[in-house]
A and B are shown apart, each in its own frame.
Chain A
Amino acid sequence: MNKIVQIDPDQVEDVGPLYAARKKVYPQKVSGTFRRIKWGLMAFCLGVYYFLPFVRWNRGLGAPDQAVLIDLPNSRFYFFFIELWPQEVYYFTGLLILAAITLFLMNSVGGRIWCGYLCPQTVWTDLFYAVERLVEGDRRERMKKDASAHRWTLERISELVLKHSIWLLIAWWTGGAWVLYFTDAPTLVKELVTFQAPAIAYIWIAILTTTTYLLAGFMREQVCVYMCPWPRIQAALTDEWALNVTYRYDRGEKRMSVKKANDLRALGQHAGDCVDCYQCVAVCPVGIDIRNGPQLDCIQCGLCIDACDNVMKKINRPTRLIGYDNDINIQRRIEGKAPIYRIVRPRTIIYTAMIALVGGIMLYTLATRSLLDINVLHDRNPVAVKLSDGSIRNAYTVRFLNKRGFDRVVAIDIDGPQDAKLHVVGGDSITPDRPMIVLGRDGTTELRVLVTAPSDRNPEKSIPVKFRVTDIGLGEVASATDNFVAP
């Protein structure tokens, strides 16, 4: 039964806004194993990204000599010894499949390795934080400066100007490196500094400068927490054996002071190792407390491991109170059993096998791909022509693909109607019995090809006709099949 309820507006409890404002994160400087790994990977990733366009690769005369080049106007992709045409875009599909499965494998072995060490968002944010620390000081100083009532001093302003200038410089270099992948890098650099470069280059640099500056300087951990789908996907993919950055609460709890813990241990009682120093929270780039257990925000960068290890060393307790571990081992330690690590298990074996399979297929197709190809398109209007002596002729538009870096001579043959005559428009004046044509280097040649069946051998119905193109010098052969249509 419905009851009419009178609500007195004064009695309505105000629960506050549903929106939680961002709390600014001030990660503290930290040193240790994982910090060193992160510096190394950052140097490697940024080095590859910034300098790869300048690596040269000789492809012979007339071809670009840039090792990695996405040549959009000519629809070619160059990667060292590989040159791909637009119709071979499936190699990129293969690469994406490989990338996805590699991500799954990383995840099942060591959690969010991608997020913590390799993701561009992490790498650039890490770099921007380093700049911030260098200019403004460490965590405490930055917090104090931001909170200070008299903060707009000349010194403070010049500090901020310096920080944002360095940020913008990095961001600009990031956008600048991006456009170098799309055209000859040294030429473009020269054009850029003399303001001769095409407008589109400046536009893209501006776009990517803006996104880098905003994403790494201001959005930071919010990109990972709110914008990125991967935390959700990885949460669905993980299993109980995957090693994640974990607070070993079996060792850490109950938290107490060093002195109290020593007293308890002297009495032979269990004491927690965690001294509640909050160092793990202070260094965290996403501003969380890892001791609350695995959580969506955690990018598993391992910096809290370094922070905690430094403290444990100081108080003479074993390191890795926080470390790569899982709940199974915590449970086992509580039960007094030795921890077990299972890197090799069905999940990782299957992922590895899939990587090997996809990679193998890609390598095989790449190694055996044809550098000569032929496409045939039958005339549609008319499909067949009757000549004055009663013979039947079909016309085809044939496109030859020469993916090699030099011109070559090819011969064209057909298997089709008996005693059919082959005629290539504008291409068979030298050898009328077996048309031969020259295919230009690294390009396609389109020709009109006529096939005529003699009047006494007219096929009664459509029969298949196979076009074969043979490289006279190299012996490479490619073929395509179409139909010879009777009217």
Chain B
Amino acid sequence: MAETELDQVSGKTTTGHQWDGIKELNTPLPRWWVLTFYATIIWAIGYWVVYPAWPLLWSNTTGLINYSSRADVGVELANLEKIRGDKMVALGAASLEDIEKDPALLALARARGKAAFGDNCAPCHGSGGAGAKGFPNLNDDDWLWGGSLEQIQQTIQFGARSGNAKAHEGAMLAFGKDGILKKDEIVTVANYVRSLSGLPTSQGYNAAAGAKLFADNCSTCHGENGKGNQDLGAPDLTDKIWLYGSDQATVIETITNGRSGVMPAWVGRLDPSTIKALAVYVHTLGGGK
């Protein structure tokens, strides 16, 4: 090893490095720092032994205490269920009507329902249930499949055209695409449908022809007066609410191509008390019957 040089001014040794005549003083890291550093390395070895650490070909070393963050999540979730415990049991046991009558159960159901709605329903129906074109607004009092508590619960459980055996079935036929009605007939019946809810009709529209076309083709599902049929999901055509839009072009489009929106079934994906809470939540948004 090279000879150590002593700096006269500071009384310290130099490292032997020199740049343009400037020498570097040897100022090592404090001993406590170095020892702490070594201690952390030793500590890390302990980690390898105790905790999962080294990747293997298909898995990893599990460590002495067999720790798993996934198992931790399971414990947390189980704890959550335990905390909710009695309250959620009470919610599961009570009938939908009783929940709405009991302020404490109602508050619980609305809170649970709101959370579940945000997680599962909001993508289509909007965070506040305002809906969108083709996705019903759940705040209003117009219901395709019925707005009573039981009907809402039924719809959430099994959905509409969801493929579930108990799902709501029934679709708006594609009268134009399938050649049932001609183009001018579709325009006439579209005018008639618009007139049912008091919307203006286009010039030269033959009301009698429209009524006949409606009676022949539409009244089976929508009823003679166009009041709809909730068993078939056929909307009331006389009210002010339009799922796809009320302008002439949209109505023509609907009659030409048909409509069959899908609501998934939630039974099996959400537990029964959560579905109950959701039914109460949707019912109390304001439009429940």
Residue of A nearest to B283 (CB): A425
| B128–A379 CB distance below 8 A | yes
CB distance from B112 to the nearest CB of A (A): 15
Known: A381-B128, A385-B140. A395 touches B239 (CB 8 A): no
- 0/1 string, A346-386, CB within 8 A of B gives 1: 00000000000000000000000000000000011110011
| A9–B8 CB distance below 8 A | yes
Contact of A388 among B100, B107, B239 (CB under 8 A): B239
Number of CB contacts from chain A to chain B under 8 A: 62
Is A426 interfacial (CB-CB < 8 Å)? yes
Residue of B nearest to A455 (CB): B240
Is B127 interfacial (CB-CB < 8 Å)? yes
Contact of B128 among A9, A380, A393 (CB under 8 A): A380
- 0/1 string, B227-260, CB within 8 A of A gives 1: 0000000001001110000000000000000000
| A395–B286 CB distance below 8 A | yes
Question: Across the interface, which residues of A come within 8 angstroms of B128, CB to CB?
Answer: 379-382
Residue of B nearest to A12 (CB): B9
- 0/1 string, A252-282, CB within 8 A of B gives 1: 0000000000000000000000000000000
A297 vs B73: C-alpha distance in the bound complex, in angstroms? 57
| A389–B240 CB distance below 8 A | yes
Is B126 interfacial (CB-CB < 8 Å)? yes
Is B273 interfacial (CB-CB < 8 Å)? no
A427 vs B101: C-alpha distance in the bound complex, in angstroms? 8
Is A390 interfacial (CB-CB < 8 Å)? yes
Question: Across the interface, which residues of B come within 8 angstroms of A450, CB to CB?
Answer: 286
Number of A interface residues, CB 8 Å? 21
Contact of B241 among A381, A386, A393, A429 (CB under 8 A): A386
A379 vs B140: C-alpha distance in the bound complex, in angstroms? 14
Question: Across the interface, which residues of A come within 8 angstroms of B236, CB to CB?
Answer: 388
| B139–A385 CB distance below 8 A | yes
Is A29 interfacial (CB-CB < 8 Å)? no
| A426–B284 CB distance below 8 A | yes
| B140–A390 CB distance below 8 A | no
CB distance from B122 to the nearest CB of A (A): 9
Contact of A389 among B9, B103, B129, B239 (CB under 8 A): B239
Is B168 interfacial (CB-CB < 8 Å)? no
Question: Across the interface, which residues of A come within 8 angstroms of B240, CB to CB?
Answer: 386-390
Is B110 interfacial (CB-CB < 8 Å)? yes
A382 vs B101: C-alpha distance in the bound complex, in angstroms? 26
Residue of A nearest to B7 (CB): A9
Question: Across the interface, which residues of A come within 8 angstroms of B139, CB to CB?
Answer: 382, 385, 393, 395
- 0/1 string, A402-435, CB within 8 A of B gives 1: 0000000000000000000001011101000000
Is A399 interfacial (CB-CB < 8 Å)? no
Residue of A nearest to B100 (CB): A426
| A385–B137 CB distance below 8 A | yes
Residue of B nearest to A385 (CB): B139
Q: Report which residue of B129, B142, B240 has the largest number of chain A beta carbons within 10 angstroms of its beta carbon.
A: B240
A474 vs B197: C-alpha distance in the bound complex, in angstroms? 50
Question: Across the interface, which residues of B come within 8 angstroms of A385, CB to CB?
Answer: 130, 137, 139-140, 286-287
Q: Which residues of chain B from 124 to 163 have any CB-CB distance to chain A below 8 Å in the complex?
A: 126-130, 137, 139-142
A393 vs B287: C-alpha distance in the bound complex, in angstroms? 10
| A9–B9 CB distance below 8 A | yes
A380 vs B139: C-alpha distance in the bound complex, in angstroms? 12
| A381–B239 CB distance below 8 A | no
A389 vs B240: C-alpha distance in the bound complex, in angstroms? 6
| B140–A426 CB distance below 8 A | no
Is A239 interfacial (CB-CB < 8 Å)? no
Q: Report which residue of A387, A390, A393, A426 has the largest number of chain B beta carbons within 10 angstroms of its beta carbon.
A: A426
CB distance from A259 to the nearest CB of B (A): 56
A82 vs B126: C-alpha distance in the bound complex, in angstroms? 45
Q: Report which residue of B8, B140, B236 has the largest number of chain A beta carbons within 10 angstroms of its beta carbon.
A: B140
CB distance from A446 to the nearest CB of B (A): 7
Residue of B nearest to A425 (CB): B284
Question: Across the interface, which residues of A come within 8 angstroms of B239, CB to CB?
Answer: 388-389
Contact of A387 among B100, B107, B130, B141 (CB under 8 A): B141
Closest 6 pairs (CB-CB, A-B)? A381-B128, A388-B239, A382-B130, A385-B139, A390-B240, A388-B142
Would you list 22 pairs from A and B whose C-beta atoms are within 8 A, ordered by A residue? Answer: A9-B8, A9-B9, A381-B126, A381-B127, A381-B129, A382-B128, A382-B129, A385-B139, A385-B140, A387-B287, A388-B140, A388-B142, A388-B236, A388-B239, A389-B240, A395-B285, A395-B286, A425-B106, A426-B101, A426-B284, A427-B103, A450-B286
